[in-house]
Amino acid sequence: MAKSRAFDVRRQTGFVPIALLCFLVLYLPIILLVVYSFNKGESIAIWEGFSWQWYVKAWQNEKVQDATILSLIIATSASLIATSAAVMAALATTRTRGFRGYTFVFALINQPLMIPEIVTAVALLIFFAMIKVATGYTGLMYLIIAHSAFCIPFAYMPIRARLQGMDLNLEQAGADLYGTPWRVFRRVTLPQLWPGVLAGSMLAFVISLDDVVITEFVKSAGQDTLPTYMLGQMRRVITPEVNAISTALLAISVALVIAFYLLSKGGTQTNRE
Amino acid sequence: MIEISGLSKTFGLGANAFTALDDINVEIRQNEFFTLLGPSGCGKTTLLRSIAGFVDPTSGSLTIEGQDVLPLPPYARPVNTVFQNYALFPHMTVAQNIGFGLEMQDRPKAEIKQVVGEMLELVQMAPMADRMTSQISGGQQQRVALARALAPRPKVLLLDEPLSALDFKLRKEMQIELKRLQSETGITFVFVTHDQEEALTMSDRIAVMSSGRILQIGGPKDIYDHPAERFVADFIGDTNFLEATLQSVAGEVATVTLPSGKTVAARAVQGGGQSGAVTLAVRPEHAVLTKESGLLDGVLENIVYFGTDTHYHITLDGGSAFVVRKQNQPNTGEGFEVGDKVGVSFEAGVGQVLRD
Ligand SMILES: Nc1ncnc2c1ncn2[C@@H]1O[C@H](COP(=O)(O)OP(=O)(O)OP(=O)(O)O)[C@@H](O)[C@H]1O
Ligand SMILES: [Mg+2]
């Protein structure tokens, strides 16, 4: 920092190396994970040549199949429920004029982001245990409800952003042109909101698909999702099968993130005059 | 047609309470071009939105063709609005926008198609029927907004400064187009503007508003020539104010004594007093400048040339300022020079006594 120039964070000593190191730490393991998913041997550290065998193994593994189906059922249901709830919550927090306790409601909706996940997990475990005792029901609903609950804020954020950017006059114009509240919602609000709804539901889907902590606490015996199955596997032998499953999950996530990006970009474009 | 009486609107409560409309009384006639004119924040939009149903008045009554509409939600009122920012639906085409109101009324498909076609012709947008509303210009959007509001044939069309976003030339075109639509459709127009010239050129009648109240209602000429209050005289056009003494009132004729001591007949104001100190308003173009002594005398301070006319700024003998506006003739050279002693005169009945 010899000559005094305008302050620029990039000129701090060591900024570039640190940034590079961060990227390396973040992405090198992922690259290795992907590479070793194609390993011929049983090791996840010693390269023995290329093969698809772990993908084939994972594909044929019944436990993996069951866990995948369960994961998809839970993620789809949770995403649908969370998105519907988020649409209503977003409408309530942007379309009504500021009411008492507004901040409180806002905090309430975003609660899962602020409370440590483990606390939620333990609380749900105890709560659901009580219900299980009372009703004897041990089905999937517990997982679906739990996932829906913690996915709401993720679905809520893009929907709310979209609603806030929306011209209130449009709905008034709809009402002025003889549209009843429900028809105005269907014909004016929802089409405007659609990119946000899609983005929110995809985000919720990925978050649900990825969850370990809450699932691990809430699940009943034999209910393994992909992440909890993998966790169980890791405790025993680690083979590149886990790499293969992870890589597949990674591919789904990346695809959804790209779709999310394209949708939100397309959304802002149609919004422009 | 529309009868509004005792209408008031207070926003907020307690210490934050703000009265946006204060005892509004007005009757708008069938197929009238009625304009609400006033400065920003005077309550024009609030009054319009009360008619449309987006504002719930605190007190008063509002009927359209004898029907009390205050209990009705916006979608049940026979009223359509052209919003200030148009509020076109961005996810629909021009034609779908125009057909929206008819569709919400569950009219048959064939009828919707026919009416949309007529409306597209009316606002000369037929070639762009299938464009998205983001793909047309500002003036075209404005016409679509107009067509969308007209398509369901409302009894009343409300327009909230619909021309304010347009450039000068387009604005002039749209003013003419609006007048044409009004006479062709027979619909009652309630038009909001803060542009006095626009109000004067387009309206059948104007209501001048200030701080939530209607100060005066009348035809453009009436409002311009005979403003009843200082605010109205000041807001519309330029005016000279003279401190005068009212001698007597006989019907519409008031006799006033000017500061110079001379007496002249002026127009009396409704509900004004019979005598005492009053303010007299005289339009600059209604007064004449003379080299001889006139009703008022003073010294020419400044001459400003404006092309079509010239403004003469005079300091009267009492010290107050007065402006005379004179239209320019091909053979100018009246021979007035700054510093000249001049007289100012105006005919009987030209001055207007103001309510205080
Ligand atoms: N929802 C509201 N809550 C509180 N005050 C309001 C509300 N709506 C309007 N007002 C106030 O009422 C007054 C009149 O507002 P209004 O929008 O009717 O003015 P306007 O005459 O249309 O002005 P402009 O020419 O700027 O559009 C303003 O002082 C405004 O601040
Ligand atoms: Mg306004």
- CATH number of A102's domain: 1.10.3720.10
* A2 part of a folded domain: no
Give which of B11, B77, B82, B100 to mutate to test A binding, by max A Cβ within 10 Å. B100
Among A117-121, A224-228, B302-306, the minimum mean pLDDT is found in A117-121
Query: What does the DSSP assignment read for B72-139?
Result: S-GGGSSEEEE-TT----TTSBHHHHHHHHHHHTT--HHHHHHHHHHHHHHTT-GGGTTSBGGGS-HH
Average pLDDT over residues A196-223: 89
Q: Are residues A154 and A41 in the same domain?
A: no
Task: Check B85 against A270: CB less than 8 A apart.
Answer: no
Q: Are residues A37 and A153 in the same domain?
A: no
Q: Are residues A119 and A233 in the same domain?
A: yes
How many Cβ atoms are within 10 Å of A241's Cβ, its own excluded?
A: 23
In the predicted structure, residue A2 carries a pLDDT above the cut 60: no
Interface of B with A (CB under 8 A): 52-54, 73-76, 79-81, 83, 85, 87-91, 100-101, 104-105, 134, 148-149, 152
Residue A67's domain spans which residues?
62-271
Q: Are residues A191 and A110 in the same domain?
A: yes
Q: Are residues A131 and A248 in the same domain?
A: yes
User: How far apart, in whole angstroms, are the C-alpha atoms of residue B35 and residue B199?
Assistant: 6
Q: Are residues A30 and A153 in the same domain?
A: no
Tens digits of per-residue pLDDT, A128-159? 888 888 888 878 888 999 999 889 988 998 89
In the predicted structure, residue A269 carries a pLDDT above the cut 50: no
The confidence score (pLDDT) of residue A264 equals 66
Indicate the number of domains in chain A: 2
Q: Which residue reads 């110079």 in tokens? A: B260
Q: Are residues A35 and A74 in the same domain?
A: no
Structure tokens at B188: 């009652």
Average pLDDT per 10 consecutive residues for chain B, totaling 356 residues: 93 87 93 93 93 93 93 93 90 94 94 93 88 88 91 93 81 86 90 91 94 94 91 91 89 88 88 84 92 90 89 90 88 77 90 87
* A209 part of a folded domain: yes
> Residue A224 in contact with residue A68, Cβ under 8 Å?
no
Q: Are residues A157 and A36 in the same domain?
A: no
* A57 part of a folded domain: no
Q: For residue A139, what are the contacts with CB-CB under 8 A and spacing of at least 6?
A: A220
In the predicted structure, residue A3 carries a pLDDT above the cut 60: no
Pocket of ligand 1 (CB under 6 A): B 11-12, 18, 20, 38, 40-46, 194
Minimal-distance CA residue to ligand 1 atom 8 = B46
Minimal-distance CA residue to ligand 1 atom 25 = B40
The confidence score (pLDDT) of residue A10 equals 64
Among A70-84, A107-121, A236-250, the minimum mean pLDDT is found in A107-121
Q: How confident is the model at residue A79 (pLDDT cuts 50, 70, 90)?
A: very high
User: How far apart, in whole angstroms, are the C-alpha atoms of residue A169 and residue A173?
Assistant: 6
> Residue B75 in contact with residue B39, Cβ under 8 Å?
no
The confidence score (pLDDT) of residue A236 equals 81
Chain B CA closest to residue A193: B91
In DSSP terms, B37 is beta-bridged to B193, B208
In the predicted structure, residue A273 carries a pLDDT above the cut 90: no
Minimal-distance CA residue to ligand 1 atom 17 = B45
* A3 part of a folded domain: no
Tens digits of per-residue pLDDT, A5-21? 566 666 677 788 888 89
Average pLDDT over residues A169-193: 92
The sign of the dihedral angle between the CA atoms of A115, A118, A123, A124 is: positive
Q: Are residues A23 and A153 in the same domain?
A: no
Residues of B in contact with A170 (CB under 8 A): 87, 89-90
Task: Check B75 against A176: CB less than 8 A apart.
Answer: yes
* A1 part of a folded domain: no
Query: Which domains can be identified in chain B, with CATH numbers?
Result: 2-225 (3.40.50.300), 238-353 (2.40.50.140)
Quick one: which atom of ligand 1 is closest to the CA of B209?
A: 21
Task: Check A176 against B104: CB less than 8 A apart.
Answer: no
Q: Which residue reads 């190396």 in tokens? A: A17
Element (H or E) spanning B206, and its range? strand B205-210
Half-sphere exposure at residue B62, Cβ-oriented, CA atoms within 13 angstroms: 24
Q: Are residues A130 and A228 in the same domain?
A: yes
Q: Are residues A107 and A19 in the same domain?
A: no
Q: Are residues A34 and A137 in the same domain?
A: no
Among A42-56, A102-116, A239-253, B183-197, the minimum mean pLDDT is found in A102-116
* A256 part of a folded domain: yes
Structure tokens at A250: 């990674």
Residues of A in contact with B90 (CB under 8 A): 170, 192, 270-271
* A236 part of a folded domain: yes
